[in-house]
Amino acid sequence: MYYNRQDIKRILVSEEELAGICDRLAAQMTEDYKDSEHELVFVIVLKGSIFFATDLIRRIPLHCGIEFMKVSSYGKSTQSSGFIAVQLDLKRDITDADVVIIEDIIDSGRTLQKLRDLLLHRGAHSVKCCTLLDKPDRRVVDLEAEYVGEIIPDVFVVGYGLDYDEKYRTLPYVGELDPTVYQN
């Protein structure tokens, strides 16, 4: 079944802008980590950040590890429950590594705060956060990402990995979902 184009109210970040964001953040990270003595490990938070992470990491010419984690998501709701469970954990030890968590979006900030604390507790040398999108208006905890693709207003967005009820992930851009889709 095709997507209904009318479900997307407007495009917030176009394909060209997404490529520019990846170029900028990749250059910044390459500069920041090129002289590090520690192993660089990217922790990709499934599923929303998959396209962003693959586009980003391919632009970074440094030796690095790629690992995955999955934490509980919104499901059918567009509101954070405040409860975050680790559904898929790392399969390796990250002691002494420079870890960069790659997320799709920071909303309340709870997910990233919990992940950062967990990975630091496991002995990472450093843990930084990289997010494609940031909705600072919605923050309920004190959490700032070191690498931010774009700051967006408080609207529900889909595409380029982000979903609503597992739909719209594969759109090539980030768009605002028309509220009628989830308010009915």
Identify the H or E element spanning 68. strand 65-71
Site for Mg ion, residues 103 to 122, rule: CB under 5 A: 104
Contacts of 73 (CB under 8 A, 6+ apart): 47, 48
- Tell me the per-residue interface mask from 42 to 81 with ligand IMP, x by CB under 6 A, - otherwise: ------x------------------------xx-----x-
For residues 30 and 87, which CB has a smaller minimum distance to Mg ion in the complex? 87
CA dihedral 44, 50, 53, 55 (to 10 degrees): 160
At CA 111, angle to CA 108 and CA 112, rounded to 5?
A: 95
Binding pattern for the stretch 142-171 against ligand IMP, x by CB under 6 A and - elsewhere: --------------xxx---x---------
Cβ-proximal residues to 161 (8 Å cutoff; 6+ apart), any chain: 47, 48, 49, 50, 51, 52, 104, 132, 169
* 156 C-beta neighbours (distance < 10 Å), count: 19
Q: 57 or 106: whose CB is closer to Mg ion?
A: 106
Segment near ligand IMP (CB under 6 A), from 17-25, 29-37, 101-109, 119-127? 101-109
What is the C-alpha separation between 149 and 7, in angstroms, rounded? 24
**What is the CA angle 175-179-183, rounded to 5?**
145
Min CB(179)–ligand IMP separation in Å? 12
- In the shown chain, the binding pattern of residues 81 to 100 toward ligand IMP, with x for contact by CB under 6 A and - for none, equals --------------------
Active-site hit among 98, 107, 134, 163 = 107
Q: Tell me: does residue 48 bind Mg ion (CB under 5 A).
A: yes
User: Could you confirm whether 55 is annotated as catalytic?
Assistant: no
Query: Catalytic site residues?
Result: 107
Task: Kindly list the residues in this chain that would bind ligand IMP in the complex (CB under 6 A).
Answer: 48, 73-74, 80, 103-111, 156-158, 162
